[in-house]
Each structure stands twice: as structure tokens, then as C-alpha cells.
Chains A and B, each alone.
Chain A
């Protein structure tokens, strides 16, 4: 296992005790903890450089603008993109809504189809439902194979000139399954449809180079990759960004404003109305620099080894069912499971008493839960700061849950 243990001291919160136990944080798929460098970058901005960005003639405004735009360059570079193709927004949800409204409203017609997969997070379903309602388009779902990966064998049956969007997750936040990124984006390209990747779970954990992908749009969130909440990024292929209308009007996003009509600033600024989350953008940049310094290959290898260890240890617990691929080549580090008839909320409460943070519930993926015919799962998810002892603590606490509920 790539030993990233020394990094733990960069994360102040990992020193915390919860219910008289040292925190075991296994909820990084929901949000990640922040290293000191990210906290310092944001603090430094507020203490020394705080000003509104763009158009300011004073020194601080210049510094703030430079820091904000530098963060854009850093985040774009992280995914192999140019800064001019990267829009800052509130996060993945905001980005997908932007595509659905900014592109979908102007390109979808009655009878058109939007293909999504059954393993999507609500953020990659509900915006499309909303826009489908406005335009008369229709959602079509790809379902799963026995190993929890998306079944693409039915793709040919649903592909037609009526398909205008294929939207899919790079990695499921529930099962951890990787999405069929190349297959779906190439299929979209072959029929001229828009391809949209929800990268919220993939980008933080795996090297992603958009210049090597066929995808048109990739959305991801800073807080799932060591950065702050309230900011995310939307990368788009330049010609696709040009096809998209702004969904919010206001300051910062205009070229000229007349009494009755206005013209827009160039991409990406035309999609960034109002004062942006400046400190958050700077924190996002610092988070990306941290990840780059560790190296995404090392992070991926570390998580893969840890996930393999967790799958192996969890599979030995009687009554425990894992919902996700058992082959680590097909998945990331989000591990969903059930434990006999111990409800996931009860599991989460019992684990919390041992200082272990996991998530329980439907994970904002109700169509998937219904498809799998399970009301809820408990989910442990890993990141670069997790260590095998934390998997051991999880396993030990799950045995406690079994005992408390009288499972034999």
C-alpha cells in the first residue's frame, strides 16, 4: 500500500476525539476533510488580500483578481484543461443544473431523449427531469449488470437521432462502481449528442485528463477533494460552452448592458454572474496543489489497496452484504453495505459511539436504491488520509453492532 500516513498530520481535524475515541473519518464521499494549506490559503486571502474581483483599480482588487484567476488556471491544469474552459460555480449540482437549463432548454424538443444511468446521484437526474418537463423531452435509463456496473449492452437499442444528451456518473457515490465513460461519451459523439459527466466522485480520486476523453462537460466539487464547500467547477469543450446560454444574469457576466438588452462577457465569465466565492476559489486552488504534490497516481493506488483490504475484511463479517463491485479495477473507495436486519441508521449510530463516521441512508440515489430493492445502506468511503487500522476499527465496531442486535 502506498504509505501516505505522514499526510495525516496535515489535517487538524483528524486529531479530534469523538465519543472518547479518536475520529475515524470514513465519510469522504460526502465531504472530505481539509489540510492546513487549504485553511491557510483562505485565511491568508481574508487577512491580507480581501477585495472584490475584476474591474477594481486598487492594489487589493488586483491581488484578489490575480489569486482568483490563478486558482482557475490551477484547477483547469489539474484536469488537463485550459483556464478559459473552466467555469467556477457552487458545485456539481449547480453545474449540472447550469447545463440542463443553459444548454438543454435551448436544444431539447418534444420527443427528444436524455439518457442517464440508474446509478446517478439525484444531482444528475432531477435537473434533467425539470428540463424534460419544460421541453417535452424524456428520460431513458441504462440499468446495471450483475456486478453493479452500468449495463451498456442495451445502449444500441436506445441510441437514435432523438437522443440529445447522455449524462452519467464517472463513479457512483453509492456502489463505488466506475462509469462506462469512454463508451457513453463515444456513443454520444457518434450521434452528435451532448455528453455530461458527473465527476464529483471520480475527479477527487483518479487522474482525469479531459484532453484524452470524448466527454463534452465534466462537473466536480471542491469540497469532495480537500477544498471548501460552496465552490465547484464545470469544464466544457469550447464549442459546447459557446452553445450554452447563461442561466443567471447580473454583474460580472456582461459585456454591455442597454435598457432592453445586453451582450455577454466571453466564456467563462458569462457564466459567473455576481461576486464569486473568491476565498473558496483560492481554497480550491490550494486543495488541487496539495493533491498534485501527493500525486493522483499515488492517491489512486493508495485508495485501491485500502478498498481491496476493506472489501476483504468486510466480506468476512457474517450477515454483511456489500452492494458494489468486488473487483477493485471496476470501482473506487465508496463501500456500501447492509448488515443483517440492523438498519443502516442504527449501524451509523453504533459506529459513531466508537468515533467512526459513516453515512447511512439512500445517499441521494433513490432510483438506484429502488432498483436494487434496498431502502438504505451504510457507506464507508475512503480518501488519501485513511489507513488500514481504520478499516480494522470499522470491522470491530460492526461486530459490536451484530452483538447488540443479537445476530449470531
Chain B
């Protein structure tokens, strides 16, 4: 695969074109907003938390395929998950993307076994200027979780 094919995997374009959990939540929820001022990408996130579990989430905003697909895949992953597990996923994702220190959690012999579709975003690592695009949703999520547990 060339670098570009690795970057723009089919699953990424699918999430970009058909983002999951678009919209906003009604009822009790936490709201967080993230943006990359240098490029204008925006990510708006609603997260509902019931008994320590992410019971629902919704996203909206605009940006490149990487930022929007990363957000959409994140939504797929975190709904139904206890907050502590979500934090663990955030950490694993950031390690995979070389944003945080640690040993890459992804098992190359069993693609998708650790982070599911999100592993398709590994190709972004070869494009250092785009890592911040993939990270936008996750930084926004961390902000929301910090609000929830403050």
C-alpha cells in the first residue's frame, strides 16, 4: 500500500461520509468543544453518563476526513463503556498515534483486535502534520470526561 492508500483507508472514508452519532443529545449530558485554530476544524461533543457508564454520545462539527472519521469511530467505540475503560481506550489510541508515551498496543498479527476500526488510523502516523487532526475528537472527549469526574 502506498502512504496515501494507508492514510485514506476505506473504513475512514466511510466514517467521513457517514459519520455515526451525528447531532446533539437531549436530557442530561456533558458538552465539550474542541478546535484546531490553525486549520479551523471544529468538534462538538455531547456525552451522557449514567452510573459511571457512557450511556450515549453525539457529535457535530466540521473538518477533514481524518478528524471527522476519528470522531465517528470514537463514538462507535465508547458508547456503553464505563468511564475508566473509556480513559484506557483514549490512552491506547494516543499511544498508537505516538501522541502519548508507551508501547504500541496494536497487535499486528490480529488487526482490529485491540482498537477495532480505529486501528485504520495508524496510517496517519506517517503524516506528522495530520496527527493533530486525528487527535481532535479525543482531546475533546478527555475534556468531557474531566468535566464528568470533576
Contact = CB atoms under 8 A, between A and B. Distances in A.
Interface string B55-79: 0000000111110000000000000
B130 A362 contact: no
B4 A350 contact: yes
Contact of B130 (A345, A366, A376): A345
Given A343-B65, A345-B130, A353-B3, A404 B8 contact: yes
A84 interface: no
A366 B40 contact: yes
A375 B39 CA distance: 9
Contacts of A369: 40
Nearest to B40: A362
A376 B42 CA distance: 12
A343 B4 CA distance: 15
A376 B4 contact: no
Nearest to A342: B65
Contacts of A342: 65
B134 to A, nearest CB: 11
Interface in B1-27: 2-5, 7-8, 13, 17
Q: Which range contains the number of A residues in contact with the other chain?
A: 10 to 19
A27 to B, nearest CB: 14
Given A341-B17, A349-B127, A366-B40, A404 B4 contact: yes
A350 B127 CA distance: 11
Nearest to A353: B4
Contacts of B127: 349
Nearest to A376: B40
Given A366-B40, A405-B13, A406-B13, A345 B8 contact: no
A360 interface: yes
A361 interface: yes
A113 B4 CA distance: 50
B149 interface: no
Chain B interface extent, by class: 20 to 34
Interface in A313-348: 341-346
Given A345-B133, A350-B4, A404-B4, A361 B13 contact: no
Interface string A345-368: 110011001000000111000100
B125 to A, nearest CB: 13
A323 to B, nearest CB: 15
Contacts of B63: 343, 345, 375
A18 to B, nearest CB: 13
A335 B90 CA distance: 39
Contacts of A345: 39, 41, 63-64, 66, 130, 133
Interface in A370-408: 375-376, 404-406
B39 A349 contact: no
Scoring B17, B39, B41 by chain A CB atoms within 10 A of each residue's CB, the highest score goes to B39
Interface in B108-150: 127, 129-130, 133
Nearest to B129: A349
A405 to B, nearest CB: 7
Contacts of B66: 345-346
Contacts of A341: 17
Contact of B39 (A350, A353, A376): A376
Contacts of A366: 40
3 nearest A-B residue pairs (beta carbon): A345-B64, A343-B64, A362-B40
Given A346-B66, A366-B40, A375-B40, 6 more contacts: A341-B17, A344-B64, A345-B41, A350-B4, A404-B8, A405-B65
Interface of A: 341-346, 349-350, 353, 360-362, 366, 369, 375-376, 404-406
27 contacts: A342-B65, A343-B63, A343-B65, A344-B64, A345-B41, A345-B63, A345-B130, A345-B133, A346-B8, A346-B64, A346-B65, A349-B4, A349-B127, A350-B4, A353-B3, A353-B4, A360-B39, A361-B38, A361-B40, A362-B39, A366-B40, A375-B40, A375-B42, A375-B62, A375-B63, A405-B13, A405-B65
